[in-house]
Amino acid sequence: MGVPGGPVVWREREFGRPGGADSHTEANRTASGGVLAEGAVLVPRGAVFHAEGGRVRAEGGRMRIRRPRLPRTRAGQRRLVRAVVAVCALALLPGAWLFTSTADRLRTVADVPPAPVAVVFGAGLWNGEPSPYLAHRLDATAALYRAGRVKVVLVTGDNSRKDYDEPDAMRTYLTEHGVPGGRIVRDYAGFDTWDSCVRAKKIFGVDRAVLVSQGFHIRRAVALCEAAGIDSYGVGVDEPHDATWYYGGTREVLAADKALLDTVFRPDPRFLGPRDKGVADALAGAGGPRPARREKG
């Protein structure tokens, strides 16, 4: 069979047959019957590949790439629409869970129920100082302390590198804004929200707390701390809707999936470590109730 523009060149490869060092044979041939050098690979431009049993063969011709086609029938189109709607619903389900499960747990600095401890989550440092978002969280926390809503502050953040220390920077900021250093406890292994909540419960013995974060994050924080066993209320700090706010809001859509998985599977934090009596000692010094002792075993 001839093809305009030259002879058909095709490659035949037989798999799984004994004979030869690698248990397969190859031959490259032309339509005119000539045999090419053994092992040579000559496949025409625009070759079309065919699978025949255990063989893969490329024949001359133009390669055609099939594009997915939308269903032409109404029934097929309805099935496609239903599938798209189902995928979208599943993607939005974790976010809906966060909104419904925390609807009655969000408050302001003025009306949040008193609690022994405030938990403040890290939000990044700029040149060793709290980022603007983190500074706003700390401002709200200082206001809670001055109003008598909390007695002790647990600052939880990342200190995985020697040159990056969120908890110490947070403590310094709070002391500069009127919170006594003896009422501030540092958690150096709060690498993410779930880790911070689990460590607050298991390491520092926090049973009831006010959580402080930005509005786009506070629902997830409350849901995760509740799942970790902490009776939690959240104070969401308002921010202008700038690029950082939109980034944070978009990130929360994706983080909601992980939050749901964390509440279901309850993984251990990246670092757990021994029990820390810092919160209990700070509450004792403030005249507040000490966290309940955890039974061994």
CATH code of the domain covering residue 161: 3.40.50.620
CB 208 within 8 A of CB 118: no
d(CA 179, CA 110): 18
- Split into its structural domains, the chain has a count of 2
Length of the chain equals: 297
Residue 203 has pLDDT above 80, yes or no: yes
Shared-domain flag, residues 114 and 52: no
Shared-domain flag, residues 241 and 125: yes
Shared-domain flag, residues 37 and 170: no
Radius of gyration of the chain measured on its C-alpha atoms: 32
Helix, strand and coil in the chain, % to nearest 5: 40, 20, 40
Shared-domain flag, residues 110 and 226: yes
Longest dimension (CA), the chain: 99
> 108-165: per-residue pLDDT in tens?
999 999 999 999 999 999 999 999 999 999 999 999 999 999 999 999 999 989 899 9
| C-alpha torsion sign, points 139, 145, 150, 152 | positive
> 143-157: per-residue pLDDT in tens?
999 999 999 999 999
CB 245 within 8 A of CB 217: no
DSSP bridge partners of 188: none
Single out the residue of 56, 10, 48 nearest to residue 31, CA to CA.
10
pLDDT band per the 50, 70, 90 thresholds, residue 46? low
**Residue-number span of the structural domain to which 233 is assigned:** 102-286
> What is the distance, to the nearest Å, from the Cα of residue 226 to the centroid of all Cα atoms in its chain?
19
Overall average pLDDT of the 190-210 stretch: 97
Shared-domain flag, residues 51 and 118: no
Q: Which DSSP helix (H) or strand (E) runs through 57?
A: strand 55-59
Shared-domain flag, residues 120 and 264: yes
Shared-domain flag, residues 170 and 32: no
Which pLDDT value is given to residue 54?
Answer: 52
Shared-domain flag, residues 111 and 255: yes
> 253-278: per-residue pLDDT in tens?
778 888 888 988 999 999 988 999 99
d(CA 77, CA 71): 5
Residue 88 has pLDDT above 60, yes or no: yes
